[in-house]
Structure 1
Amino acid sequence: MTRAVEVSVVLPAYNEEDTIERTVDITLETLATFLPAGSFEVIVAEDGCDDRTPEIASRMAEADDRVRHVHSDERLGRGGALEYAFHQARGETLVYFDTDLATDMRHLEELVESVRTEGYDVATGSRLLPGEAADRPAKRDIPSKGFNTLVRLFLRSDLQDHQCGFKAFDRDALLSLLDDVEDDHWFWDTEVLVRAQRAGYDVREFPVEWAPKGDSKVDLVRDVFGMGSQIVRTWWQVAVSPRIDRRVSIAAGTLLVFVALLLMTTYLDPGEVWGYMQDADLALVALAAVVYVTSWPLRGLRYRDILSKLGYRSDPAFLTGAIFISQTGNLVFPARLGDAVRAYVVKARRSVPYPSGFASLAIERVFDLLTIAFLAGAVVVGMAITMSPAEIQSAIGGAELAGGQEAAGQTAMLVAAGVGVAAGQTAMLVAAGVGVAAVLATVVIVLSARSERNYVRATVSRLSSDAYADYVAGVIERFTGDVQTVASDRRAFALVGATSLLIWTIDVLTAVVVLAAFGVELTPFLLGVAFFAVSVGNLAKVLPLTPAGLGLYEGAFAIIVVGLTPLGGALAISVAIVDHAVKNLVTLAGGLVSMAWLNVSLTTAVEESRDASEVEAAAGQD
């Protein structure tokens, strides 16, 4: 009768042709000294090797039934290879250690028995506890101690050494943790230990004798910085994210706006801001609203073209109403909860399935971001190329403001002191740098979307191979994939792209009319600054911190305007407030009319769309 396997030892192997056979032999010999025959197995978790490791592992598995070879065609990463092998292991006690046998094998019995017979859920060797020697060179020791200090500080771990490759787990405990473990490389050990402690499992750490063997596969620049980002990611997931719900989001967003307003009063006179707003030309403010209204039918036409590419047809008037309703939701609810309302509306009224509704929303958002970034970058780069430093400074110092003599006088004093020109040049250089980056990022994303080659994954993998980098690559790939849905059809791409440019140009022109309402002279340079300021303000609204981006848009807009023009802070804030208010009032009015016309309850739509979003997200992970 064959004895049931109690202990499974996994050896993660990547290009170990010189050592793997000796490591397996020593492991089998050591296990046989304290475990009954037939009660253990050794699994070589071969991780997409490009040397002779797979051949050697297969030969050993054929020659000895205690040895198994788990092969992966592609590189899974150290943590990924371990998880893949653990899921296929037969033992109730799961063990792994590094194949270089840096940890003295005399500790293997203590490691295994800590879980197998002593009742611990997790056991791990430690090179940092007193009691055993760990001969570590400074280039390894210093980064390791720094890393472990950060883990204890940010992740509230009680352990001293998280990265020692010498660990054992109770099978049920480990498998219950793996669903939440996201890293698949060097941070895997740390994340498992942190989540085990958070889950209340009994973890034992004991000192081991350890000596480095050969060259480490850890890249001290790439992997140390990568694991630093993983500490931040895990901290957010285990310590911050669980505490954030809708109530907390609303409270935090409201607090941010309140704090911003309080801080504003330290360098701006609220009475001066209110005075500027009272003096604004109401006829021009009304004209700004009319200009902004003209962008909404274009939004409906663009959405029609996107849905048409996905195989669904609808009339632009209905789609304009659906967009009005979803944007009204964003005015009322934080974290852009209104975005997904449109998926509910088009499903309820036009039978467009939720997956297609969410995909169309994503495509529209991608084109919005690309267009805004491109507009901002192109305008500033254009100004930097076509205008000399003297012309730029002349433009900055020459704009005439209604009631703005003080600001003009301040600028003249700076110029006289020789500071104004330098400040203008610096501001334009910074803005031009941002503009170049925006244009290049836009071009790269569009070219990547139009190509069948995966430039994103190749580029990111050169910088880092950890799970966080893989996650970032996945986000960018989905981003480019959304563009590719439309970019694959040249006509559809041209239509959606051109309509997007027109929509956001009208958005900028609305702000330009508001500037005129405040008596600001509209020079060509100021028009360029307006394009840049509105674009940056809209990019700031992407952060889902406050409903409708209140405070974010105004702050970003004012910073750009004050930095590149002689307009004072009070005037810039006043323009931003009125500009944003005009756009929000038009949106709200259109949303109310559309809800009445389409008989849609905003509260019901938000709840239904949120539930659908959760289902869609879960389906996407399967």
Structure 2
Amino acid sequence: MSRAVEVSVVLPAYNEANTLADTVVTTLSTLESFLPAGAFEILVAEDGCEDRTPEIATELAAEHDAVRHVHSDERLGRGGALEYAFEQSNGETLVYFDTDLATDIGHLEELVECVRSGEYDVATGSRWLPDSEADRPAKRGVPSLGYNSLVRLFLRSDLQDHQCGFKAFDRDVLFALLDDVEDEHWFWDTEVLVRAQRSGYRVNEFPVRWTPKGDSKVDIVRDVLGMGSQILRTWWQLSISPRITRTVTLTAGSLLVFVSLALMTLYLDPSEVLDSMAEADRLYILLAAVVYLLSWPLRGLRYRDILDSIGYHERWEFLTGAIFISQTGNLVFPARAGDAVRAYIVKARRDIPYPSGFASLAVERVYDLLTITFMAGVVLLWLALTGSLGELEAALSGDPVQGSERESGQTALVVAAGVGLAAVCAVFFIVYTARRDRNYVRPAVRRLSSDSYAEYVAGVIEQFVGDIQTVAQDRASFVRVGVSSLVIWVLDVVVGIVVLLAFAVDVAPALLVGAGFFAVSVGNLAKVLPLSPGGIGLYEGAFTLLIVTLTPIGGVVALSAAIVDHAVKNVVTILGGFLSMGLLNVSLTTAVEESPEADVVQND
């Protein structure tokens, strides 16, 4: 070439055998009309195609000096393919547009010169500006309008059209932005534009003539799961996460706990509850804390067995600390954000991939739910044999407990029943599929979507489910984890019974044990859903209702015991969490910010 390349044009190509040759020829002639010879190059970013696109791209590269073929053996996704090609480009002005030429190629000079002249850092065509000429049928226009409105609302973008495949960038600016861009699929365009605006770069949006090419349809996985979750992820990273400091999170968490406990005492005289709690035997409460503390090494050993089953061998001491920290996160942050903290810790400290971290946690949760459900079921059978079911039914439909206490207990029991049923169904499905070679995940996802993003999602889900099935296939591990789960939750129930004894309740031992097992089991089932931080409120409601219904213990003492029982467990958890943070050098706030929270489909 006679001079250095100034402009690099990338054509993302996936199964474009019918249009690629014409698009390349048209692009060459258009570039030649306003750029000197040798000042530009065209890169065909061929992304794991299944048709003749690779052969055609190779032929075009051999025929034209300005054309290069950038091949990928496997699907990288739209954003991934663009990044891969841009990394191999030479130009200072980087351009891409869709190979179907839906955007009038006559706008190419305006697009290139916006950035090449130095006037703007980023330029993008728009189909939604007043002067744009876009023939948009409703099936394309309505979803596009809704999507762009959500981006402007949540991500505070000033642009009207984020997904028009007609963009140009200054090379240095683009690669500075790509350090923070996470999406590798269809949201890539939007994330680059939003981050460019947030970083203060000059972005020019100009009207274009646009004609739809081919058919289009709403893709459930790509458009709803993919794009929707990415909008929320970017909103969290740009607008929420920077404001979450250690002081803010601890203050907010403490305030929520205080408000929740205050609401629990509205329907009982708070002074009576406080007096009752003050009269509790402190030695019994200390004993309850010791019993609960004994369950934590068992949690670390159980988690070690689960990870062993999927191929990761770690020390139980480290894993106990990770569980302490994650459970502390669940008490401080809403929506069980602590679960993602544990996945972050084992990834950051032991390089266990996020899908495996979440899968191991899911296995643990399944065992927890099954064990609690089993214990509640055994006691329910015991109640039936002793003729106490009538009292329980009266509690749910009658008025043995007044006002909010009964309503809270009823809500808790409904939640507990739903969670227990879901847990049983999930385990039956996992065990059933673990004994068969058939792949259930990918066909199910393909029914929802034919997009490349769906293949990516299916792969992550398969790894996730596969790890769970591995544990189910290992009979020795299955039994070992099951036994340890039973011991852990029996100790949890013992804590509740010891706390009841601290209030000097006069109840027959058999009745106290049975009611305690049922109250603690149902209370734990009720707080599985993240309806309040640490399940505060639902747990106390279920515990109080069942103790009052099944025993002669009054509402004040039952609520006092429920609060103390939950408080003992939470205090032990928080103290262990902060000690573990110091020993493992983990910041809870940093872990929450950097963990993929439930963004389980993030590329590891």
- TM-score scaled by length of structure 2: 0.77
CA 1:450–1:193: 2 relative to 1, 3 Å: farther
Letter in 1 for 2:44: V
Name 1:250's counterpart in structure 2. Answer: 250
* 1:12–1:45 CA contact under 8 A, matched in 2: yes
Q: Which of 531, 540, 546 is the equivalent residue of 1:558? A: 540
Name 1:196's counterpart in structure 2. Answer: 196
CA 1:381–1:139: 2 relative to 1, 3 Å: farther
Moved more, 156-165 or 491-500: 491-500
C-alpha distance in 2 between matches for 1:612 and 1:251:
16
C-alpha distance in 2 between matches for 1:187 and 1:297:
43
Name 1:574's counterpart in structure 2. Answer: 560
Pairwise CA distance, 1:532: 2.8
Matched, 1:374 2:359: no
CA 1:387–1:571: 2 relative to 1, 3 Å: closer
CA 1:461–1:275: 2 relative to 1, 3 Å: farther
Pairwise CA distance, 1:13: 1.6
* 2:543–2:562 CA contact under 8 A, matched in 1: no
Name 1:39's counterpart in structure 2. Answer: 39
Cα shift readout 1:465-505 (whole Å, capped 9, x = no counterpart): 88998997787677668768877865345324421331123
Letter in 1 for 2:3: R
Matched, 1:530 2:520: yes
* 2:415–2:526 CA contact under 8 A, matched in 1: no
Pairwise CA distance, 1:171: 1.1
Pairwise CA distance, 1:177: 1.0
Pairwise CA distance, 1:270: 1.7
Q: Which of 387, 392, 399 is the equivalent residue of 1:396? A: 392
C-alpha distance in 2 between matches for 1:472 and 1:515:
48
C-alpha distance in 2 between matches for 1:580 and 1:428:
17
Letter in 1 for 2:564: V
* 2:285–2:499 CA contact under 8 A, matched in 1: yes
* 1:10–1:86 CA contact under 8 A, matched in 2: yes
The unaligned stretches of length 5 or more in structure 1 are 345-352, 401-405, 415-419, 546-550, 596-600
Name 1:505's counterpart in structure 2. Answer: 490
Name 1:8's counterpart in structure 2. Answer: 8
CA RMSD of aligned residues (A): 5.0
C-alpha distance in 2 between matches for 1:291 and 1:378:
21
CA 1:451–1:320: 2 relative to 1, 3 Å: farther
C-alpha distance in 2 between matches for 1:208 and 1:325:
53
C-alpha distance in 1 between matches for 2:221 and 2:431:
31
CA 1:300–1:387: 2 relative to 1, 3 Å: closer
Pairwise CA distance, 1:438: 2.2
Letter in 2 for 1:432: A
Cα shift readout 1:426-449 (whole Å, capped 9, x = no counterpart): 976654332222233455567788
Letter in 2 for 1:136: R
* 1:371–1:504 CA contact under 8 A, matched in 2: no
Letter in 1 for 2:425: L
Pairwise CA distance, 1:212: 0.9
* 1:555–1:573 CA contact under 8 A, matched in 2: no
Moved more, 74-83 or 232-241: 74-83
Pairwise CA distance, 1:517: 5.6
C-alpha distance in 1 between matches for 2:105 and 2:357:
57
* 1:377–1:437 CA contact under 8 A, matched in 2: no
CA 1:109–1:149: 2 relative to 1, 3 Å: same
Pairwise CA distance, 1:8: 1.3
* 1:428–1:564 CA contact under 8 A, matched in 2: no
Tell me the secondary structure at the aligned position of residue 408 of structure 1.
coil
CA 1:2–1:15: 2 relative to 1, 3 Å: same
C-alpha distance in 1 between matches for 2:547 and 2:240:
40
CA 1:482–1:609: 2 relative to 1, 3 Å: farther
C-alpha distance in 2 between matches for 1:556 and 1:468:
39
- TM-score scaled by length of structure 1: 0.75
C-alpha distance in 2 between matches for 1:583 and 1:282:
15
C-alpha distance in 2 between matches for 1:122 and 1:197:
9
Name 2:599's counterpart in structure 1. Answer: none
The unaligned stretches of length 5 or more in structure 2 are 597-601
Letter in 1 for 2:539: F
Cα shift readout 1:327-363 (whole Å, capped 9, x = no counterpart): 49976996769x98xx99xxxxxxxx95289999989
Name 1:92's counterpart in structure 2. Answer: 92
Pairwise CA distance, 1:45: 1.5
Name 1:605's counterpart in structure 2. Answer: 583
* 1:134–1:209 CA contact under 8 A, matched in 2: yes
Pairwise CA distance, 1:234: 0.6
C-alpha distance in 2 between matches for 1:27 and 1:372:
60
C-alpha distance in 2 between matches for 1:181 and 1:100:
26
Cα shift readout 1:280-333 (whole Å, capped 9, x = no counterpart): 57776566456546535645765786798889898xxxx679958984997699
Q: Matches of residues 480-495 of structure 1 in structure 2 within 5 Å?
A: 490-495=475-480
Tell me the secondary structure at the aligned position of residue 247 of structure 1.
helix
Pairwise CA distance, 1:255: 2.5
Moved more, 141-150 or 270-279: 270-279
Tell me the secondary structure at the aligned position of residue 37 of structure 2.
coil
C-alpha distance in 1 between matches for 2:285 and 2:452:
50
CA 1:364–1:277: 2 relative to 1, 3 Å: farther
C-alpha distance in 1 between matches for 2:223 and 2:567:
47
Q: Matches of residues 325-364 of structure 1 in structure 2 within 5 Å?
A: 327=324, 355=350
